[in-house]
Amino acid sequence: MMISPIFFVYSLILSSSYAAMQDFCVADYAAPQGPAGYSCKDPAKVTVDDFVFSGLRVAGNISSINKIGLSAAFAFNFPGLNGLGVALVRADFAVDGVVPIHSHRDASELVILVEGRVVAGFIASNNKPYVKTLNKGDTMVFPQGLFHFLVNVGKTPALAYASFSSSNPGVQTLETALFQNDLPTEIIAKSTLLDTVQIQKLKRLLGGTN
């Protein structure tokens, strides 16, 4: 028997409405992950601990090449965030620490500076930069998908928190996208106008090849 289009659409609406009416969809890491994200954990197995995350208590390791330590509370490590459209990151800056130019395909970002003094900014799609020096208590927003950065310009360490409009905002950092892979040096040089010697130096520094 053929299912009428009207019945199919009606069933789809009912299904979507039921999903929307659920209080939450705690991530089930043991179940297969689909295009829409994590499957929902059986509500009978959900506990309050699924909605609590302690990973932002401690400062991140600032011994990285960029002198920053990043600690994330995303759906992949905080199951209660799944499907809620929010996430959080703690950023610890050593003196001269930098969050390099990067973008979040799936989220806008709101940063609040808790300690220190940083220069923050983003680049619009028309290549116009919007840059501001932030002091303790200042907040800046980075629109979804646009390249942005933060640089500690103070004489002391800095601390910032960033919230996102997605529980899995995704990230692509410009320097690693270019130099932490096997994209041929010649191609990078021709497409960016960078000097091949500098490209090879950055590849060695970041673990790229070719």
Q: Which residues are annotated as a binding site for Mn(2+)?
A: 102, 104, 109, 148
Exposure pattern of 44-72 as b/e (b: 16+ CB <10 Å)?
eebeeebeebeeeeeebebeeebbbbbbb
Collapsing DSSP to helix, strand or coil, 13 comes out as helix
Residues annotated within a binding site for oxalate: 104, 109
Pairing of strands 98-103, 109-115: unpaired
The count of other CB atoms within 10 Å of the CB of residue 178 is: 18
DSSP 176: H
Q: In angstroms, rounded to a whole number, what is the distance separating the alpha carbons of residues 135 and 93?
A: 14
Length of the chain: 210
First-to-last C-alpha distance (Å) of the chain: 59
Residues annotated within a binding site: 102, 104, 109, 148
DSSP 22: S
